[in-house]
Every structure is written in structure tokens, then in C-alpha cells.
Amino acid sequence: MSSPEAARATERPTGVDLRVRVGSLSFKNPIIAASGTFGYGIEFAGLVDLNRLGGIVVKGLSIEPMAGAPAPRICETPGGMINAIGLQNIGVRAFVSEKLPKLRRYDTAVIANVFGSCVSEYVEVITVLEDSEGISAYELNISCPNVERGGAEYGTDPSLASEVVSQARRAAQRPLWVKLSPLVGTIGLMARAVESAGADAVVVANTYPALCINAHTRRSHLGSTTGGLSGAGIKPITMRLVYEAGRVIHIPIVGLGGIANPTDVVEYMAAGASAVEVGTAHFVDPRASERLVDGLEAWCRDENLFEISRLQGSFEV
């Protein structure tokens, strides 16, 4: 007869280890709520168990409050939606005093999305946040298509991207993620540029500029004319960008685009992502991220996969 120790050694594990790492940061699971789709996080506390999430990226923070784009701001499309929120936010100082203290009560990583209309504004926002406790990392937004300045102009020019990232790197003691635009000829070129400038990870990718016209009025469905396309329809395109970026950089990638079910998460991780951000799905179901954690655990158990980190980069050509 085998010994009790041998029997225990051959027993199948009963739990699934969903922990992942993005650079120096450890997350309890790879599910992170994307910026602009989950408020400042605290607004969802009555609907979602925030402790279940791997992390939350809060609404983009500017040095001064911003009113955002004119209404209407969202238009549903086949396979997704177009939004033009225009980075409406209460400003970084109000976030620090009003929102961040409440977020500290929860056991989830808080990532501050940072933007500005010029390099000095990015740095100023980070400087304010540096004195505040409860933030795990910064997500530098250099790719928003819905603002006139500080958005795609940085995200499509490697030299401008390098400048803003290097200046932010000097100001930031915390890990620095850079959210990339999909509108580049070669995603690897931009990814390498921000890696060289000091980024600790890249987020691939932001929304795709788009237009939705009302056939009856012949006017845009959005108050700001154009917006950013997100949702299921962009997933295969963005997944290719994740895969291509992963072939040329050595820093982690966070995948973002059309994630709504556990297999979406698995596919992004197989393509090279260390974690994912969930966005548009929250507009359909505010509890989408929490449900994904449960669904992902069940998927892994069904597949006899007990360490989700093994999925990362497992795609075979």
C-alpha cells in the first residue's frame, strides 16, 4: 500500500491559482477593470465585490477638472459601441481627496490613468499622485482618440511618445504602464520606443477612431461627431497587436479590446498578455469583471489547468 504522503502527492489540486504578475506587481487574478468604463471604481462598490477584481484602472485624471464631450456620448454598433466621453473627470486633486481614501478600503490594485494636453501636465498629475497612498501603478494615456490634444498625437509618434514617457518616468516612483494606440504602422516600433523610454508595461490597445451616422438625420450619433470604437468586433485586430508587440519587447503586455468571456481572456494571454483589462462589457453588465473572475476559474478547472500563468505566451504558430 502506498503511504499517505504518496497518496497526497498524486491527488489533483482542488483550487485554481489565478495569480499573475505584471512586472513587479502581483495581481490576485488577471481581470482588471479598464479606465473610462468603471468610473473611479468606488461608484460600483454597491454592485460589485471590488475585492474579487485583480485591479481597477480609474477614469483618466487631468490636472484640472474636465467637462468632457457634448452629449450624446455613446452609440451602439454591430459588435460593439462608439464612445466619445472626452475624458470627463473631477481632476487629480479631487480624486485624491474624495475617491482614493474610499478605494483604499478594498483589497484590489488601483491603477491611476494619467493624461494631459502637454508633457508638463502629465508630469504634474503624477507629481500630485506620488504623495498619495493606495496607488499601485500609473497608466499613461497617450492614445485617446476623443480629445484634441494630448491623445493620438503622442500615441502615433515614437519620438513624442518617448518624450512624455521619459519625463513621466523621472517623476514616477511607481510602475509606469503606457496605453498604446492601435493606429500605428507597426505596433512593435511604438512599443520599443516606450520600453526604451522607461515604461514598465504596455497596454494594447486603446479604441479605434470611428464614425456612426444617423441615416434619417444624416448627422453623427455622437455630439462630438467621431468617437472610439470598442467591443467584440475589435478583438481579433487588437489580439494581433498584442502578439506582434510581444515578439519585440521584453516588458509585460496588458491586453485590452473586446473581452467579455473567459475564453477571450485565455486567448489574449496565449497571444502574450500577462493580464487583461475589461471595458465595453461593463456597459452591458456592470458586474462583467467579477463574473469573469468566476468564469475564468471554472474554465481553468474544466481544462485541468491549475496555474493560469502557464497560459501566458502559449500560442503556437
| Active-site annotation, residues | 144
Considering only CA atoms, give the Rg of the chain: 20
CA atoms within 13 A on the CB side of 209: 16
Q: State the Cα–Cα distance between residues 293 and 244, nearest whole angstrom.
A: 27
Q: Give Cα 192 distance to the centre of its chain.
A: 19
What phi-psi label fits residue 264: left (phi over 0), alpha (psi between -120 and 50 degrees) or beta?
alpha
Report the alpha-carbon distance of residue 91 to residue 66 in Å, rounded.
7
Residue 54 identity: G
* Assigned C-alpha cell, 111: 491603477
Collect all residues with Cβ–Cβ distance below 8 Å to 49 and sequence separation of at least 6. Answer: 290
C-alpha distances (whole Å) from 221 to each of 151, 216, 217, 288 are 22, 11, 9, 26
Bridge partners of residue 32, in order along the sequence = 55, 277
Is there a contact between 171 and 130 (Cβ–Cβ < 8 Å)?
yes
Residue tagged 448627422 (cell numbers): 219
* Cβ contacts of 310 within 8 Å, gap of 6 or more: none
Phi, psi of 301 (to 5 degrees): -65, -40
